[in-house]
Copies of this chain bind each other. A is one copy, B any other.
Amino acid sequence: MNVFDRLGLRWPIVQAPMAGAQGSALAIAVCEAGALGSLPAAMLALPALAEEIRALRAATRQPFNVNFFCHRPPEPDAAREAAWRAALAPYLAEWSVAPNTATGAPARLPFDADAAELMDALRPPVLSFHFGLPPADLLARVKSWGTVVMASATTVAEARWLEAQGADVVIAQGLEAGGHRGHFLEEGLDGQMGTFALLPQIRRAVRLPVLAAGGIADAAGVRAAQALGADGVQVGTAYLCCPEASTSALHRAALADAQQPPTALTNLFSGRPARGIVNRLMRELGPISPLAPSFPLAGAALAALRARAEAAGCSDFTPLWSGQNRSGCRTLPAAEITRALAEGWQ
């Protein structure tokens, strides 16, 4: 029995952490349905995260996952920031947003000593990491608690690296997945593979349990992932329209759009490539812009504009994260989405 099986989940299904679209309510519902609920920590200050974990523990005794980003915070680059603000200036003018408006973009902080201190106090059963792993000393500390450590790999080389560093579970993140790409060994996107190609190659390359992520929306997708050797699946997009998610009304409307606008990888909203539904900003600036400041700085210059537009019911400047397969998005309780997925697991 592998370390993932030992969690004792009814189903080897992980609800993908989706910062900005969910908190403890969704995670609780998924945990209670027998899968692994996840709390995204990336956009929460630590006291708020502690509150969420306490709320979750008060509502369920099932195991759960807390997800952190592991990026290296960038050096500010005044010239790039200025070029980025210049590129956005016409939009700010159109919406009468003053260019120097103080920004309220949520900071995205990596897993650090303070986060480790809090996790030491709260000891969640599972921690998952995106963009690599924490520094070795912090990772050793996490592992000393017996916490199950999961981390995303987008290439075979990343999966091997995670295994060598001591991760317990590899999440094979196919190119179909919504939200931020988890790549960390190289910046280029050319080597990024679809789930059909990535999953079996990672399966062969490592001994660790492998979860499949990207494009899985229903029982058929779960069956297919299992056929390709997955020990479990991680599913995000299919949970975005659940009543327990905090997905905004604008985001829900885009997900339900009968025109099915395509998704693309974009760095405009955060500085790192992430998959979302193509909207006006992505169309007009191109989804990937060399002007966007490094992760996570790009979002700051957009924050006031985005807030103004959203208040007017406009999602032109809003990240509308979504995977390529949103056919599983239904306005159903998370327990029902979970049960529907679980029917695919043999």
- Residue of A175, A223, A264, A323 with highest tally of chain B CB at under 10 A: A175
A156-B260, A227-B227, A260-B156 known; A220 and B200 CB under 8 Å?
A: yes
Kindly list chain B residues whose C-beta atoms are within 8 Å of the C-beta of A174.
194, 196
Q: Is A193 touching B324 in the complex (CB atoms < 8 A)?
A: yes
Chain B nearest CB: distance from A239 CB in Å? 16
Task: Bits for A181-206, please: 1 = Cβ < 8 Å to B, else 0.
Answer: 00000000011011111101100100
Kindly list chain B residues whose C-beta atoms are within 8 Å of the C-beta of A324.
193-194, 196-198
A17 at the interface (CB under 8 A from B): no
Q: Is A194 touching B195 in the complex (CB atoms < 8 A)?
A: yes
Q: A225–B228 Cα gap in the complex (Å)?
A: 10
Q: A191 touches which one: B191, B194, B227, B262 (CB < 8 A)?
A: B262
A216 at the interface (CB under 8 A from B): yes
A278 at the interface (CB under 8 A from B): yes
Copies of this protein in the complex: 2
A147 at the interface (CB under 8 A from B): no
Number of interface residues of A (CB under 8 A): 41
Q: Is B220 touching A197 in the complex (CB atoms < 8 A)?
A: no
Kindly list chain B residues whose C-beta atoms are within 8 Å of the C-beta of A196.
174, 176, 194-196, 214-216, 221, 224, 324-325
A218 at the interface (CB under 8 A from B): yes
24 contacts between A and B (CB under 8 A): A156-B260, A174-B196, A175-B175, A175-B194, A190-B278, A193-B194, A193-B215, A193-B324, A193-B325, A194-B214, A194-B324, A195-B215, A196-B221, A197-B214, A197-B215, A197-B323, A197-B324, A200-B218, A200-B220, A200-B327, A201-B327, A220-B228, A223-B227, A227-B344
